[in-house]
Structure 1
Amino acid sequence: MDLLVFGASGRVGSRLCTYAATDGHRVTAFVREGSSAPDDARVVEGDVTDARTVAETVDDQDAVCSALGPETEAGTSAFTAGTENISDGMETAGVDRLVAVSAAAILQATPGRLRLDMPEFPDQLRSVATAHKTVYERLRDSALDWTLACPAQMPDGAPTNYYRTAVDYLPEDGQSISTGDVATFVYDTAVGDEYRRQRVGLAY
């Protein structure tokens, strides 16, 4: 499989590239600086806000993974614009499969309300969560074959391969999941056949 990873130098993306390359897939790492790219991957230097570069890189891929995410409020516009470019590029190139890391905030708290929309949701997280909601709505309204991995708190750590999943909701009482296990889920889902056009909550 030809697998393209955006955010390949990050905590989840770098592990994802390693897992895919170890299994023999042809991995392309899209990074801002080539020196930050993981080993065993073809490297493309670029900025996700550059629509042309994104579209050229997406072409001829079998699947795309995105570990992009705004770490701060200042990064939300680049995150949403970058994901828009990825989606547009995939639609133009006829590449359907996208698995992306999102946030637990876009999962349901109740059947009619997202976690983001609950009164107790922290104000300091609202702008970042809203950016993830914008991305979710863009994908939901697209023709892409997407999956959104929505982890609880995500400390750095190796995979345990023992974690829980829930469609549309966070697993009950779930508090955290390691970056290694999130990368495992994204990789397994990208090469597998589950959770198509679904949000998936991840936690121990």
Structure 2
Amino acid sequence: MEIVIFGATGQVGRHLVSQGLLKGYKVRAYGRNVHELPDINKNLQLIKGGVFDEADVYKAIEGVDAVFSVLGGASDGTDKTRSLGMKVISSEMKKAGIKRIIALGGKGVLDAPDGGLLIDQEDYPQEFVPVGREHQKAWEILRDSDLDWTFICSPDIIQADPTGEFITSSNIPPLPDNGRVNAGDLALFMLQEQERNEYIHQRVGISEI
């Protein structure tokens, strides 16, 4: 199994890299600051590049079994890395003939009980709307593609190792929903989903139990 991780040096990306290597995967870690990762595993390939560089993104994607996107950026809406990055990644995946992508977004993209998205509800926290719209655009790019996508809609991310004590649901927040999830558990679930393919063409709600 060979995977590429966009956003490999971020909060969740680092867990994806380490857990992927523990599984024996060949891991391509892509990003501007990948030199920050310890290059001590023969199965780890560090690829320095920007997510807007189509040629570099294509080279990173070519030949892998699955793509993981955990792109980050500023939360005030001025940073378009999540949406424009997804546009480039999905386009280059199509060129390379790669179908499977598992991407990380925000909770606001899940369905609300009375219709619409959570981000569109009056009681949705306004401070999260700008970054939530970026997540929404990234999801819409995947939704409108012919890729085999899964979009993880994360609540608050806690910098903590995996516990395996989390719950997921399709397109809506899970019950119980405690509004938080460990970075390590997000990575664990994303890798499990790559193996199980339970949520193809679906958004996923997730929460620590």
For normalisation by structure 2, the TM-score amounts to 0.93
Q: CA deviation at 1:172?
A: 2.6
CA contact (8 A) 1:55 1:85 kept: no
**91-100 or 169-178, which deviates more:** 169-178
Q: Corresponding residue for 2:20?
A: 20
> How many Å separate the matches in 1 of 2:154 and 2:82?
18
Q: CA deviation at 1:122?
A: 1.8
> How many Å separate the matches in 2 of 1:111 and 1:48?
36
Q: CA deviation at 1:75?
A: 5.0
CA contact (8 A) 1:8 1:38 kept: no
CA contact (8 A) 2:66 2:194 kept: yes
> How many Å separate the matches in 2 of 1:194 and 1:182?
15
Structure 1 position 117 matched with structure 2 position 120: yes
- Show CA shifts across 1:87-129 (max 9, x none): 0010111100000111101001125210000011122211110
CA contact (8 A) 2:8 2:34 kept: no
> How many Å separate the matches in 2 of 1:106 and 1:113?
9
2:141 to 127, 130, 138: 138
Amino acid in structure 2 at the alignment position of 1:31: G
Q: Call closer, same or farther: CA 1:75–1:60 in 2, change over 3 Å.
A: farther
**Unaligned runs of at least 5 residues, structure 2:** none
Structure 1 position 200 matched with structure 2 position 208: no
**Unaligned runs of at least 5 residues, structure 1:** none
Q: CA deviation at 1:64?
A: 0.4
Give the match's secondary structure for 1:150.
Answer: strand
CA contact (8 A) 1:69 1:102 kept: no
Q: Call closer, same or farther: CA 1:70–1:109 in 2, change over 3 Å.
A: farther
- Show CA shifts across 1:132-180 (max 9, x none): 1111111111000000111221111111101110100111341211111
Q: Corresponding residue for 1:103?
A: 106
Amino acid in structure 2 at the alignment position of 1:11: Q
Q: Corresponding residue for 2:10?
A: 10
Amino acid in structure 2 at the alignment position of 1:96: K
Q: CA deviation at 1:59?
A: 0.9
Q: Call closer, same or farther: CA 1:141–1:38 in 2, change over 3 Å.
A: farther
> How many Å separate the matches in 2 of 1:38 and 1:190?
24
Q: How many positions carry a matched residue from both structures? A: 204
Q: Corresponding residue for 1:186?
A: 190
